[in-house]
Structures are given as C-alpha cells and as structure tokens.
C-alpha cells in the first residue's frame, strides 16, 4: 500500500478514463525526472533528496542545534515564497495554527514574506518578551521583502544582544558562494546552511531551507525525511514494474481535467491546521504550471468553515473546477466526544457519544456527495495519521505529482519567469539604480 492514497470514487467514469489514458506518458515523464533529463532537469536535485543528502543534512543540523551555547524560545523565519512556505506548512500542520505554547515545539514566527509595516512593527514590539533566534533564508540573497525585514531585525538583535551574541543568534540559509546574504553572513560570522544549486524555492522544504528552522523549533526532521523517502522508494519500484502510482494518477487526473476544460483546482481540507499547507500547495502548483496561458488555477479551502462562505459557489456556481479532498487518519488522541445534555435545547443529543472527528468525517463525506451530485469531480488524497512521517510523504507526493503534471502540460515546472514582471516594475517605481528607462515608461503610463 502506498503511503499516500488517491481515491477517484467521486469522479465521473469518463474523466477517470481520460486520466488513465495519460498514464504511459506520465511514467515516461517520471523516468526523465528521476534521471534529470526532463525540461528544467538542472533543477531536479529535490528528487530522491532524502536518500541522496537528507540523512547527512539532518545529522549536521542536529549536531549544530545541540552545540548552541544560548537558550531561545522563539525562532524567527525570515523568507518569502519557497523560502518560508514549506516550513510554515509543516510546522502548523504538526503543531496547530493557534499556538498556545503548550506543545513540545518552540514557537516559530515569520517575517519577510510581505512589505506591511504594521505587521513588522507588531513583531518588533513583541520581541522583548522573548529570547529570539533568527533564520534568514534567501537563495538569491537579494529578495526585497526578506532583505527589508532582516535589516530591521538585525538592528534589533545587535542593539539588544550586542554584535557578537547577535551574530550567534542569526543563522543564514543561502547560496553556497554568491549573493548579498552570503557576503553579509561571512562578514558578520553567521552560521550558514546552503540552498543547493539544483533545487528551486518551492521544491526546497526537505533541504536546509525547511529542515534548519524545523529542527531548531524541535520538529523531527529525520522522520520527515523518512516519510518522503518512502514515497521515492515506491516510485523507484513503480519505474521498474511500470505499474500505476497514486502520485502519477493524481497528475494524470489534473491533466485530464485541464484538457477537458477545467480552469481551477480546489484543494479542500477539513483541518484548520492545514491552512498554510494549502498556501504551500498553491505556490507549488501555481508557480510550476501557470505558464504560456496554461495551468489549473490552484485554490484552497478549509472545511467546514468555508462551506459557510464558498459552499454556495462550489455547489452551484460555474462548473469549471475540480476539487481534491485531502484527509488524514484520525488519531484516538484527538477523541473529543460530543456530550449528552439533559435539556437538549440545541438538539445535538443525536450526536452524543460520537467523536467530533467522526462528525467532521461525515460532514466531508456529505460534501463530496453534494458536490459530486452538483457536477464537480471530487478526488480524494488519503494519508496516514497527521505526523512528521506522513507530512514528509505528502510533500514528496505533491512535489512529484506537480512536476509530472507540469511536464504533461508541456511546461518547465521548475522556472518562474512570470514573477519578474512585478519586481522590475517595483524596482523602477522605487528608483533602483539601473531601472531608469522602465521608470520613465511606467510614469508616463500612470500620468496618462
Ligand atoms: O519558488 C521560488 O523560487 C520563489 O518562491 C522563491 O523561493 C522566492 O521568490 C524567494 O526567493 P529567494 O529565496 O531567492 O529570496
């Protein structure tokens, strides 16, 4: 049995057959991906990463974290896009969205993923109540959002702890040799970890990009790597036996939906703690596939919350999307039970004695039946209990299916040329050196 399963019970037979017709091509793409011979092959270092480098990396990070000669209760992750979304996705999935400070993990807060002064000011003003450690993460080392936030945070740390201790409390994850952050880290003597050259941001969570902050906050990086490894092992068997694999079947389903007119894929999760996982998933698929006028627009919803806001559209609006339900085996530890009450004024006694998880599962099943009945193809990705191993497996599952889905679509799933357009305009508008001609053009456009 695969560690992550796909169910197509609520997908129409015609779409399932269309998806199956892409299986042979998906296998060919998987082989090219595994060999680094696909489009963007120079960016496939993430494939089989746990086997190739993951174990050495986790050992290195664990021994570093044990050697820290100071205490800390807060990890500040400074990064944007692929440099922070994976960490946030896993941390929140494993410890919950609202951190009440009770769990075994240290709190992680995030900065550098926006340019809103209000949020940064709130963070800076809360820091005096904590013993912070910073992990600044930027592959290029020149991205504006994290660079702006890091300038402020660095000043704060130096003022509060003095330059020497501030330097020990700052860890940089960046390119091995180039970029402004590498230069700064060397000048200031920060500990550094490397973002491998052959791994792009959105595929980087299993590298130092995600493993450093997660380990520093107490998550089990070894178990995450093991979970991911199990998927790569299954895939290597798939390549030998040429049999179907759920990650490939999911890629085929997405492609079949795209080819038969769907424009959107909605990832539905009945767990608020997966909200940020949805954000990671959206970046993965959005940046990998949204090219050349192609690709499903990735959206995510959290149930049952969003059934009370988007439910009407999903049931009855434009039929241009597929829905993918993501679920985990419930754990007996979460067994909160609906209580019996004598007066039954809220009329809930018919649920008395039932675990709330079971009520949630029935709500999801009811939703699948309703949406399927309303003409929406409803696929389901079913995982083991929510924990480090399962999350590692799920990351590998989605990374592989995304890459294969992009290759089926005929795009390079590892570049993101479209992201540059806003950056160039921003640099021009803010008066960065070298962007003078664009500035003239934009100002003329605005003044019209
Ligand atoms: O997936 C990507 O490549 C992007 O989201 C980058 O991770 C993001 O733009 C941040 O880039 P950098 O790590 O160079 O600061």
pLDDT, tens only, 314-324: 999 999 999 99
Ligand 1: does its nearest atom lie under 6 Å from the Cβ of 246?
Answer: no
Smallest CA separation from ligand 1 atom 2, residue: 201
Read off the pLDDT of each residue in 360-379 and give the average, rounded to a whole number: 96
pLDDT value of residue 209: 98
Full-prediction pTM beyond 0.75?
A: yes
pLDDT value of residue 445: 87
pLDDT value of residue 393: 97
- SS3 label, residue 244: coil
pLDDT value of residue 397: 98
The residue annotated as part of the active site, out of 226, 287, 388, 399, is 287
Q: Quick check: is 308 catalytic?
A: yes
- Residue 441: pLDDT band (50, 70, 90) is confident
Q: Quick check: is 287 catalytic?
A: yes
Q: Quick check: is 388 catalytic?
A: no
SS3 content of the chain, % helix, strand, coil (to 5): 55, 15, 30
Strands of 270-314, DSSP E: 297-302
pLDDT value of residue 417: 83
pLDDT value of residue 320: 95
Q: Check whether 265 has a pLDDT greater than 80.
A: yes
Q: What percent of the chain is modeled with pLDDT above 70? A: 98
pLDDT value of residue 419: 80
- Residue 334: pLDDT band (50, 70, 90) is low
Q: What percent of the chain is modeled with pLDDT above 90? A: 87
Tell me how far CA of residue 365 lies from CA of 336, 368, 372, 446, in angstroms.
20, 5, 10, 51
- Which atom in ligand 1 lies closest to the alpha carbon of residue 179? 14
Cα(110)–Cα(103) distance, integer angstroms: 19
User: Which alpha helices (H) appear in 290-434, and where do they start and end?
Assistant: 311-316, 356-373, 388-409, 420-430
pLDDT value of residue 416: 85
Q: Tell me 106's DSSP state.
A: P
Q: Which helix (H) or strand (E) holds 172?
A: strand 170-174
Mean of all residue pLDDT scores within the chain: 94
Cα(298)–Cα(346) distance, integer angstroms: 38
Q: What is the CA radius of gyration of the chain?
A: 23
- Determine the residue of 42, 46, 142, 143 to mutate for testing ligand 1's pocket, defined as the one with the most ligand atoms within 8 A of the Cβ atom: 143
Up-side HSE of residue 78: CA atoms within 13 Å toward CB?
31
- Which atom in ligand 1 lies closest to the alpha carbon of residue 146? 15
Tokens of 352: 């008395």
Q: What is the DSSP string of 18-63?
A: HHHTTHHHHHHHHHHHHHT-STTGGGBTTTTHIIIIIHHHHHHHHH
Distance 414 CA to ligand 1 centre (A): 12
- Residue 378: pLDDT band (50, 70, 90) is very high
Ligand 1: does its nearest atom lie under 6 Å from the Cβ of 288?
Answer: no
Q: Check whether 99 has a pLDDT greater than 70.
A: no
Read off the pLDDT of each residue in 162-185 and give the average, rounded to a whole number: 96
pLDDT value of residue 362: 96
pLDDT value of residue 424: 85
- Determine the residue of 81, 142, 281, 289 to mutate for testing ligand 1's pocket, defined as the one with the most ligand atoms within 8 A of the Cβ atom: 81
Distance 55 CA to ligand 1 centre (A): 24
């Amino acid at each position: 049995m695969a560690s992550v399963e796909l169910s197509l019970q609520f997908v129409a037979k015609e779409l399932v057959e269309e998806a199956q017709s892409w299986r042979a091509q998906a296998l060919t793409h998987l082989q090219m991906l595994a060999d680094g011979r696909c489009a963007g092959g120079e960016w496939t270092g993430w494939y089989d990463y746990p086997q190739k480098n993951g174990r050495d990396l986790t050992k290195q990070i664990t021994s570093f974290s044990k050697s820290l000669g100071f205490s800390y209760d807060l990890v500040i992750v400074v990064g944007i896009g692929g440099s922070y979304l994976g960490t946030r996705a896993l941390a929140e999935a494993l410890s919950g969205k609202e951190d009440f400070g009770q769990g075994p993990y240290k709190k992680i807060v995030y900065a550098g993923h926006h340019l809103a002064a209000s949020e940064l000011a709130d963070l800076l003003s809360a820091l005096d109540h904590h013993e912070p450690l910073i992990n600044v993460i930027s592959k290029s080392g020149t991205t504006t959002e994290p660079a702006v936030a890091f300038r402020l945070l660095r000043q704060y740390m130096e003022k509060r702890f003095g330059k020497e201790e501030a330097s020990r409390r700052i860890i940089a994850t960046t390119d091995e040799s180039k970029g402004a952050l590498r230069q700064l880290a060397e000048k200031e003597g920060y500990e550094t970890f490397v973002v491998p050259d052959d791994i792009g941001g959105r595929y980087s969570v299993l590298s130092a990009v995600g493993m450093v902050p997660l380990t520093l906050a107490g998550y089990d990086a070894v178990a995450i790597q093991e979970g991911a490894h199990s998927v790569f092992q299954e895939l290597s068997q798939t390549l030998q036996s040429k049999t179907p694999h759920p990650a490939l079947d999911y890629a085929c389903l997405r492609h079949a939906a795209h080819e038969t007119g769907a424009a959107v894929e909605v990832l539905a999760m009945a767990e608020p703690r997966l909200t940020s996982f949805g954000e990671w998933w959206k970046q993965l698929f959005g940046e990998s596939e949204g090219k050349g006028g192609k690709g499903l627009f990735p959206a995510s919803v959290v149930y049952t919350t969003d059934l009370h806001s988007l439910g009407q559209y999903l049931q009855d609006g434009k039929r241009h999307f597929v829905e993918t339900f993501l679920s985990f085996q419930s754990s007996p530890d979460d067994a909160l039970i609906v209580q019996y009450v004598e007066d039954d004024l809220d009329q809930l006694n018919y649920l008395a004695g039932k675990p709330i998880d079971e009520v949630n599962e029935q709500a999801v099943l009811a939703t699948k039946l309703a949406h399927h009945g309303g003409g929406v193809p409803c696929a389901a990705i079913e995982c083991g209990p929510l924990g480090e191993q399962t999350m590692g497996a799920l990351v590998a599952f989605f990374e592989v299916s995304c890459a294969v889905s992009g290759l089926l679509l005929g795009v390079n799933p590892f570049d993101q040329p479209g992201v540059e357009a806003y950056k160039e305009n921003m640099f021009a508008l803010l008066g960065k050196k070298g962007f003078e001609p664009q500035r003239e053009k934009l100002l003329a456009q605005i003044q019209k």
